[in-house]
Amino acid sequence: MDKNKASKVVYFPGLNGVRILACYLIIAFHVNQLKDIYGLERLELHLLGPSSMYLTLFFVLSSFLITYLLLVEKKLTNKINLKKFYTRRVLRVWPLYFLVIILGFGILPHFAPFQFPENNILEYRYYWEMLLAFIFLFPHLHGIVFDVNTTIGPLWSIGVEEQFYFVWPFVITYFKRPVVALVSIIILFLGLRHIDHIVGLTGVENSDLMTRLQWIGAYFNRFRLGTMAVGGLIAFVYFKKLVKIQRILYHPITQWGAWLSLLCFQIFPSIRPILLEHEVYSLVSAIMVINMATNPKTLVSLENKWLKYLGELTYSSYVFHIPCIMLCIYVFNKQLGIDLDSIWGNVLLFGSSMLMTLCISYFSYTYFESFFIRLKHRFAVVKNKTH
């Protein structure tokens, strides 16, 4: 990226490629999960790595990019235009988010291909409470408070991001030391995720208290603000030109360490860091992101015109892939009687699910999202070519 132009146009190479590849790896995991729900045989996909790693990569990448854009805006204009920032977020995220909510709560559950074998949302006793949680951007409560199958489960991570970005521009604008705030968030969320273990070390044996603390731990395990804070930190490192830290992050040994760590987590599930999962995966993701985005000597580059374009389809691919998978299972297994546990059956299911997701996301981006994206650009202070 050319810094000599005061960075009124920001573009980080390779990040769109990272997003789309991470998205479709997550889709592969969800194909496997849905096979299990439908009583089909799951594949052993641990060689693809921990699925939470790719979600962590999303969070780190997103917060790195948004934080950097805010820092550039503050440098250029001596302030952050909060009204324009939130308008951009609303125009990019909310139209598709609420469209998916309408589909997931009000339309798709009425049709056979999108009904789960059991525990369907239309029969759920807390249907309206769950709908309100999604509407008010708390979809991450699904899986903690609400235990029903739904086609729109992936929206939980969108809600987490929106909550982070609700407060983060204020922190950059009004805190004299936002880096301290980021580090504090990381430490705080680490403690909250393990609060039941921490309190348990004091010898407390109150079962009701421990149950409540376990719920709090589960909530903050899902609420990934600590992960996003790591992305914000590397944005500060790059923006402030902290050369000593950059040299460490750019060093080939550091890069090899990150990629080999990912490989080892894939091959050897037993060594995955359970207690420090978010922190370790965030650090590995941060090293990958800052190198692929800003280091001319990065070990891995995903800058490619096709990946760059497909990266634009990541958001719609992510939110639409569950119903696409369900439709493929319904057609091939329920209607055509194809054995989806066979080798060719799995190839058919995984391939068709991804292809259908890609087609739906193309139409969504081209004929729905692009209208709001054009509106969003009118409120840009710093032009961003890495969407």
Looking at residues 344-362, what average pLDDT do you find? 97
Q: What is the mean pLDDT of the chain?
A: 90
- Report the 3 state secondary structure along the chain: CCHHHCCCEECCCCHHHHHHHHHHHHHHHHHHHHHHHCCCCCCCCHHHCCHHHHHHHHHHHHHHHHHHHHHHHHHHHCCCCHHHHHHHHHHHHHHHHHHHHHHHHHHHHHCHHHCCCCCCHHHCCCHHHHHHHHHCCCHHHECCCECCCCCCCCHHHHHHHHHHHHHHHHHHHHCCCHHHHHHHHHHHHHHHHCHHHHHHCCCCCCHHHHHHHHHHHHHHHHCCHHHHHHHHHHHHHHHCCCHHHHHHHHCHHHHHHHHHHHHHHHHCHHHCCCCCHHHHHHHHHHHHHHHHHHCCCCCCCCCCHHHHHHHCCHHHHHHHHHHHHHHHHHHHHHHCCCCCCCHHHHHHHHHHHHHHHHHHHHHHHHHHHHHHHHHHHCCCCCEECCC
Q: Is the pLDDT of residue 4 over 70?
A: no
Going by pLDDT thresholds of 50, 70 and 90, the confidence category of residue 386 is: low
pLDDT of residue 43: 85
pLDDT of residue 42: 87
Q: pTM, whole model, 2 decimals?
A: 0.92
Going by pLDDT thresholds of 50, 70 and 90, the confidence category of residue 1 is: very low
Going by pLDDT thresholds of 50, 70 and 90, the confidence category of residue 294 is: very high
Looking at residues 182-192, what average pLDDT do you find? 90
More confident of the two residues 5 and 20: 20
Q: What is the pLDDT of residues 52-110, one digit of tens each?
A: 888 999 999 999 999 999 999 999 999 899 999 999 999 999 999 999 999 999 999 99
